[in-house]
Amino acid sequence: MNVSIKTVDDYMSLQSEEVCVALENIRSLIQEIAPEAVEVISYSMPAYKYMGKMLIGFKASKNHCSLYTWNDHTVETFKAELKDFSTSVGTIRFTRDKPLPAQLVKNIVIARMKDNFDGKLKMSTL
């Protein structure tokens, strides 16, 4: 069955209750820290744009969930806080049994907002 995912609510409706709770927690934290960010579906997953650029995204997989930072330096910046999680370039994996700490998610979103803001400043000076 090919399901068309057009909104984050569409995406969430396809998840199990346990996964949905974990992802809703991430979603709420993003919306709290970046209320002006625009919620979109990108690469078939929930994502947020801030200042016209990708901010952060998340998705469910079979055995874990992922938070996507859309860059190659955020995971490195927070590597000490992420030592107990599986990571790769731009990706942080977590499970519903071992969620990302709320303050860490907030700090990552703030760092990404700063990246987008700084990028916008650089573009405006060209």
Q: Give me the pLDDT at residue 122, please.
A: 59
For 105, the token pair is 């998610």
Residue 126 DSSP class = -
CB atoms within 10 A of CB 90: 17
17 Cβ neighbours under 8 A, 6+ residues apart: none
CATH classification number, 8-124, choose in 3.20.20.70, 3.40.50.2000, 3.10.129.10, 3.90.1150.200: 3.90.1150.200
Question: Considering only CA atoms, which of 58, 65, 24 is closest in space to residue 43?
Answer: 58
pTM score: 0.90
Q: What secondary structure does DSSP assign to 8-50, as a single string?
A: HHHHHHTS-HHHHHHHHHHHHHHHHH-TTSEEEEETTEEEEEE
Distance, CA of 6 to CA of 18 (rounded, Å): 22
- pLDDT of 123 > 60? The answer is no
pLDDT in tens, 45-100: 999 999 999 999 999 999 999 999 999 899 999 999 999 999 999 999 999 899 99
Q: Give me the pLDDT at residue 4, please.
A: 81
The single residue listed with the structure tokens 């907002």 is 113
pLDDT in tens, 10-57: 999 999 999 999 999 999 999 999 999 999 999 999 999 999 999 999
- pLDDT of 125 > 50? The answer is no
Name the burial class of residue 3, with classes exposed (0-12), middle (13-18) and buried (19+) by CB atoms within 10 angstroms of its CB.
exposed
Q: Give me the pLDDT at residue 126, please.
A: 42
- Domain ranges across the chain: 8-124
78 Cβ neighbours under 8 A, 6+ residues apart: 104, 107, 108, 111
- pLDDT of 124 > 90? The answer is no
